[in-house]
Amino acid sequence: MATRAANKRLTREYATLQSSPPPYITAHPSETNILEWHYILTGPPATPYEGGQYWGTLLFPPTYPFAPPAIRMHTPSGRFQPSTRLCLSISDFHPKSFNPAWEVSTILIGLMSFMTSDEMTTGSLSAGENERKWLAARSRWWNSTGGGSSTNPTKGNIATIRGVGAVKAGDGGVKFRAEWPELDEENWTWMKRNRIDAATGRVLPNPDAQDAEGSGSKTCDPQVAALRRGPGGMGTHAVLGDAGRAARQAGQGWVGRHKFLVAGAVLIGWVLLTRWVNGGGGEV
């Protein structure tokens, strides 16, 4: 339970965030617990996270602002392990280095700065740029479906909006929807418009309008294009083409893969044999 000082401080900081939010950052406390905050970082331009929707939580101690919050990012990003406490100078891993003058906005700006850097720490990942772009493109789908489980729930995983620790694939997007209902509605509209399969996060083909890559509806949305390219950065058609060729070659023997060479050798052999017979090569 928050102390009177923590309650007063967090209430004032929420009002400040509403009136003057930092770029690409929004946050609010839970309706049932002012110590539990939910934030959204929008991936800034000219980064691998551009356009991504990164949802996470700050869990403040009752003694805030004299101690820092636990920081987690739930949305897969390729930068942080989902739903894992992050070791930062502004987090509860380093309470002695926390400055009571720092506010929620300061903490989230610091998190954004660390996310777009290359520095490693406990809870961070070193995924490649293409994978991070692909995860950014999947972020809205992941948030609103719980990783696809809204249409195919994970067995034994009971959806709940309680708690802020392990928000992982399988909750059906319930926790995100409870905290961000307007964003969730926007996400579903985006998925429907761009033919994103709710179960898999993949772009479904549109038989009525083929685009330049040969699949899906025509769109200029860079995130949809990133979904088609996949985590490796290649177009879906290129990946499938290479895979198909490899599969065909793997299923053939040496003769099948070199049939023209074999045919040429047979033809040359037949010509030489004919000349030898006609020239009397069979006489003793």
Amino acid at 187: N
Residue with tokens 């720092």: 102
**Peptide bond just before 65 cis, omega within 30 deg:** yes
Closest by CA to 134, choosing from 48, 206, 23, is: 48
Residue pLDDT, tens place only, 151-171: 554 444 444 444 445 455 556
Residues β-bridged to residue 57: 38, 72
pLDDT exceeds cutoff 50 at 246: no
pLDDT band at 236 (very low <50, low <70, confident <90, very high): very low
What is the signed CA dihedral for 139, 144, 147, 149, rounded to 10 degrees? -170
C-alpha span between 33 and 163 (Å, rounded): 10
Residue 220 appears among annotated catalytic residues: no
Q: So what's the pLDDT on residue 229? A: 85
pLDDT exceeds cutoff 70 at 237: no
Whether pTM > 0.95 for this model: the answer is: no
Residue pLDDT, tens place only, 31-71: 999 999 999 999 999 999 999 999 999 999 999 999 999 99
Average pLDDT over residues 80-87: 95
Catalytic residue among 30, 47, 61, 87: 87
Please, are residues 148 and 76 in contact by the beta-carbon 8 Å criterion? no
Angle (CA) 240-241-242 rounded to 5° is 95
Name the fold adopted by 4-197: Ubiquitin Conjugating Enzyme (3.10.110)
pLDDT exceeds cutoff 80 at 241: no
C-alpha span between 105 and 127 (Å, rounded): 27
What is the residue extent of each domain of the chain?
4-197, 239-276
Residue with tokens 């290359």: 118
pLDDT band at 240 (very low <50, low <70, confident <90, very high): very low
C-alpha span between 207 and 283 (Å, rounded): 71
C-alpha span between 158 and 135 (Å, rounded): 25
Please, are residues 80 and 124 in contact by the beta-carbon 8 Å criterion? yes
